[in-house]
A and B are shown apart, each in its own frame.
Chain A
Amino acid sequence: MYNLLNHQTLEVLDRMKLVKEFYDEGSFRIVDFMGKMGVDYDDFELYCWESLDEVAQNVDRNDLFYEDDEDITEDSEPYGEVWDFSSDDLREYYKLLRELKESNKITADDYAKRKKDMEDCICRYVLDTQCYYYGGVGLDITDDGISPSADCVRIYIDFNCSFDFFCLFCGLVAVFDKYTNLLNELKGTLADEKRLLEVA
């Protein structure tokens, strides 16, 4: 009975709603990630913070300062962090899209639409789930294929504002699962087309 009375079941179920939403959208890692932590409501945020670097294959984190780079001293306090997330599937997806556009296998409109759809999806997963908060998280998506940090999802976190780490974490897991699913889907379509051409 002690367990029953002390368990914040309703809060856990509320968190489960977001997990279920992403699971239904095709996130295949979200349940495993959540399974690694207990269902102690107070541990959610800490677990998500500690596990943020497991969200994608390549993760880079840097502090954000009010001062310019040359003015930063030992006494400078960071006001936030910037995280770059990238994965092989994300890079391959955009590379493949660019190749398809260049070889006129997809139109420029189709290319732009696919990019825009994914940008909207990332905003929906990462920002819209923030509910009451939102202010402490910013988002940038680079997919130019040129700069060294190209093809990544960049997240700005402002310590002075409020944000929900759990939502941010779940959203990012779902984003990178989505890239994997999209890449497999695209590869599948291309393989089908190739097979049809061979038959014809």
Chain B
Amino acid sequence: MELELQKTSFVDEFRKVHSIENHKACERTEGFNYLHDMTTGRLSQGESFSFTDLDFSRFTYDDLCDYMEYYEKHLTPKIDLANKLFSVLKTAGAVFSPDKRYY
């Protein structure tokens, strides 16, 4: 199994809104971009978010549905891949840990 993940481009995938399928990034609605900035955008910068950080009047229900679709199609596969990779690294770390000494 070969897994490759470039840290810079990985975080970049989450920081910016990307074009997918028939949806160009520049054509996304203001509400969509707002949701991205306040949720995934913040998480990609190591921050967290809360419901009170969000102004619910700045996006529509449709914006939210569109954003969920975008997240599911574009970002979830990348998160799954990264989680798989980190799990491999974690296992490897446990096996080769310098703390584990066998005499």
Residue numbers of A with Cβ under 8 A of B are 1, 3-5, 7, 9-10, 12-14, 16-17, 19-21, 23-24, 31-32, 34-35, 37-39
Contact = CB atoms under 8 A, between A and B. Distances in A.
Interface string B55-82: 0100101001101100110011001001
13 contacts: A3-B43, A3-B48, A4-B79, A5-B83, A7-B43, A9-B71, A13-B64, A17-B68, A20-B64, A24-B61, A35-B52, A39-B49, A39-B50
Given A1-B11, A31-B56, 20 more contacts: A1-B82, A3-B47, A4-B40, A5-B79, A5-B86, A9-B40, A9-B75, A10-B71, A10-B76, A13-B39, A13-B68, A16-B64, A17-B61, A17-B64, A19-B56, A20-B59, A20-B64, A31-B51, A31-B54, A35-B50
Interface SS of chain B: helix
Contacts of A10: 68, 71-72, 76
Interface SS of chain A: helix
A32 B52 CA distance: 7
